Structure 1
Amino acid sequence: MNEASPTLRAWVYWWLERPDRNADGPRLLEIALIALISLNVGAVILETVGPVYARWQFAFDLFERVSLLVFTAEYLARLWVAPENPEVQSRRKWASSPLAIVDLLAILPAVLGMLFPLDLRILRTLRMLRLLKLTRYSPALGMLLAVFEEEAGAFLAGFFILVLMLIFASSGAWLAEHEAQPEAFGSIPAAMWWAVATLTTVGYGDVTPVTVAGKIFGAIITIVGIGMAALPAGIIASGLNDQLHRRRASLEAQFRLALEDGAICAKEQAAIEALRKELGLSRRAATHIHEQVRTETLARQGVCPACGRSLPVFESME
C-alpha cells in the first residue's frame, strides 16, 4: 500500500494539474470543469429571477449540491497531490497560493450557508466567486492574477496614498462646507462620500460644494483625483507588459534550445506548442519569435537565412 500511494497520487496529479499539455484525458477534464464553472455562474444569475427560481428550485438546489461536491473533491484532491508539484512540494505552500485561495472561496460560501443561517441573496452573490476559478484555465486571467501578486507592494502603497488623500479631501470639504450644507457635509465621515466620488473622478453630482472656498478646494481635489485614478491603471499596465515580455522570453529560450542542432524535431515542436498554449501566446507571436530566433541562429552559424548557403567570410585588410 505504501508503494502504491505515491503512484496513485502522481496519477491524480497528472489528471488535475495536466503537466502533459497534449494529453487528451486531462484536457477533457479541464473542459468539463470550465463548463461546470460557467453553468454555476449562469445558475446564480437565473436564481435571482423570482419566477424562474420558484419553478425550478429543486433543480437549482440539486445542481448546487452536486457542484459543491465536485468543487470540494477537486480542492481536496489538489491539496493531496500538491507535493507532486516540484515548484510547490508542500501542501501548506499550495494552500496559501492565490489559485488555492480562489478554489477555497469557491466552496466556502456554500459551506457557510449550511452551517450558519445566512441571507440567501448574500449567499448567491458570494457563489459568484466561482467565476474566479477560471483564472486557473485562462492564460489572460492568470497573467492578471500574477500581476496582482507581484505588484502587491505597489498596490498597497497606492491604496495607502488614496486613503490619506480621502481623509485630507473629506476634512477640507467638511471645513469649507459644513455650515452651508450641514446635511451633506455635517461631519468628516459624511463628507467622505463626496471625497470618494471626486477622487475616483466619478462625480455623481448628488453632493457638490456651494461655497467659494469649497468650489476651489473641490477643483484641486478633482485634478489630484485624475492622477490618483491613473495610478492603479499604470501599475497594472506596467505589470502586464512585464509579464508578456517574460512569457515571450520563455518561448524564445525554448526555441533557442530546440534550434541548437539546426532543426526542430517533432518532440521539440510538441513541447514548444504546449508551452505556447500554457503561456497564452498566439500562433502569430510564436511564428514571429521562431523566425527571429532562427535568423539569429543561422547568422551566428554563418548561414544565409534566405537561401541557406554559407555566408562569405571577409578577412580584415591590414
Structure 2
Amino acid sequence: MSKQRIFNIIQIGNKDDIPSRLFDIFITIIISINILVMVLETYSELSPYFSFLDKIAYITIIIFCIEYALRIWTADLLYPNLSKAKAILKFLISFDGIVDLFTILPFFYLSGFVAFRILRIVRIFHLFRINGQYDSFAVIISVLQEKKNQILSSVMIVLILMLASSIGIYYAEHDAQPDVFRNAFSGIWWSVSTLLTVGYGDIYPITVAGRIMAIVTAFLGVGVVAIPTGIISAGFVEHYSRVKLLSNFAKDEHIDLITVNINDVHCWNGLRISEISAPDHFLPAVVMRDDEALIPLQELKLKTGDKVILAADVYFLHTY
C-alpha cells in the first residue's frame, strides 16, 4: 500500500472511501474501549479484573502507537508546503499530535508518578475525532474561528476583572484575615469562584468593605459570563442565517448548492479559483472567509478556513 493511500485512509476521513470509513469506525471503537477501561479501573470492586483490563489497555495503546507513527510518517503529505522535518514538527505540536503523545506517554514511564497518571485523562480528547467529520461539529469550530477575536477580548476582560478583584479583596480583608489573604494573589481563587460561580464558601470576606467588593464582583461575574455566551450565540445565528439565505435563494432559483470546507489537508488549499477542479456543471458562487463574503475572482487564492459555495451552472440547467 502506498504512502499516499495510507495518508488518505488515516487523515482524510472520506466517508465515500470504504477503507477510510472502516478505519474511522475502528479507531472510534478503540478510543471508546480505552476510555471505558480507564473508567472501570477506578472502581475498586473490579480489582480482580484489573489485570485483564490492563491487557486490553495495552492492546489499545499499541494501536495508538501504530497510528501515531503512521501520522508522523505521512505528515509531509498533511503539510505539502513544508519540508519533511518541518511538517513532522508542525504535526507534533498540533492539537492531534499533542493528544496522541500524551495518550501513549504514561505507558512508557513508571505508573507511580502522579503526573503521568494524570496525563491519561488527555485521551478523552480523542473523542473529538468521533465528531470531527460531522457538519454540526464543523459549524461549532467555524463559529469559534469566526468569533475568536471577540472571544479573546472577553477572556481578557475576565482576566482584568479577576486581577482587579483579587487586589481589591486583599486590601479589604488582609488586616482582618492575614492568613487567608496573605498577598495580592491570594485572592485569585476567591476571585475566580466569585466571578464565574456563586463561590465555594472556603474563602469569604468578613469585613464590610470586603462584602461590598464581593457583591460588586458577583454582579460583574454575571455580565462577564454573558458576554462570550452572547458572542457565540450571535455567531450561530449569523451562520445559520447565511446558510438559510443561500438555501432560500437556491430554492427560489432552482439552483443546487455545494459547500466545500477548506482545511489543511484539502486538495484545494492554496489554489486559486481558476485552478480548482469543481464538479461537473458547478461553478464557485461565493467564498466565505473570516465572516465575510468574497467574490470568487479567478486570482483569489484559497486558504485554510475558507468555505467555497458552489452553485449549479444555471445555463446548463436551462439548457437541459
State TM-score, norm by structure 1.
0.66
Mapping of residues 67-78 of structure 1, within 5 Å: 67-78=60-71
Mapping of residues 73-88 of structure 1, within 5 Å: 73-85=66-78, 88=80
Aligned to 2:37: 43
**Is 1:199 aligned to residue 192 of structure 2?**
no
Of stretches 192-201 and 12-21 in structure 1, the one that deviates more from structure 2 is: 12-21
The offset of 1:197, in angstroms, is 1.2
The offset of 1:78, in angstroms, is 2.4
Structure 1, residues 16-67: CA drift from partner, whole Å, max 9, x if none? 2346422222212211110111111111111111231x32232222222222
Of the three residues 33, 48, 60, the one matched with 2:53 is 60
Aligned to 2:266: none
Of stretches 240-249 and 125-134 in structure 1, the one that deviates more from structure 2 is: 240-249
The offset of 1:8, in angstroms, is 0.4
Task: Confirm or deny: 8 A CA contact 2:103 2:123 kept in the other structure.
Answer: no
**Partner Cα distance (2:38, 2:181) in 1:** 39
Aligned to 1:108: 102
Mapping of residues 111-126 of structure 1, within 5 Å: 111-115=105-109, 117=110, 119=112, 122-126=115-119
What secondary structure sits across from 1:188 in the alignment? Answer: coil
**Partner Cα distance (1:80, 1:208) in 2:** 54
Distance 1:201 1:131, change over 3 A: closer
**Matched residue type, 1:66:** I
> Whose helix fraction is larger, Structure 1's or Structure 2's?
1
The offset of 1:200, in angstroms, is 0.8
Q: Report the number of matched residues.
A: 261
State TM-score, norm by structure 2.
0.65
Aligned to 2:276: none
What secondary structure sits across from 2:200 in the alignment? Answer: coil
Of all paired residues, the percent bearing the same amino acid is: 24
Distance 1:114 1:17, change over 3 A: closer
> Where does structure 1 lack aligned partners over 5 or more consecutive residues?
1-6, 259-266, 269-292, 302-318
Distance 1:249 1:84, change over 3 A: farther
Mapping of residues 204-215 of structure 1, within 5 Å: 204-215=200-211
**Partner Cα distance (1:198, 1:118) in 2:** 37
**Partner Cα distance (2:166, 2:67) in 1:** 47
**Matched residue type, 1:226:** V
**Matched residue type, 1:160:** M
Task: Confirm or deny: 8 A CA contact 2:162 2:188 kept in the other structure.
Answer: yes
**Is 1:9 aligned to residue 6 of structure 2?**
no
Mapping of residues 1-318 of structure 1, within 5 Å: 8-18=2-12, 20-52=14-46, 54-85=47-78, 88-90=80-82, 92-93=86-87, 96=90, 100-115=94-109, 117=110, 119=112, 122-138=115-131, 139=134, 140-148=136-144, 151-241=147-237, 255-256=256-257
**Partner Cα distance (2:187, 2:166) in 1:** 5
Task: Confirm or deny: 8 A CA contact 1:174 1:187 kept in the other structure.
Answer: yes
**Partner Cα distance (2:91, 2:185) in 1:** 36
**Partner Cα distance (1:113, 1:186) in 2:** 41
> Whose strand fraction is larger, Structure 1's or Structure 2's?
2
The offset of 1:237, in angstroms, is 3.1
**Partner Cα distance (1:249, 1:203) in 2:** 44
Larger radius of gyration between Structure 1 and Structure 2: 1
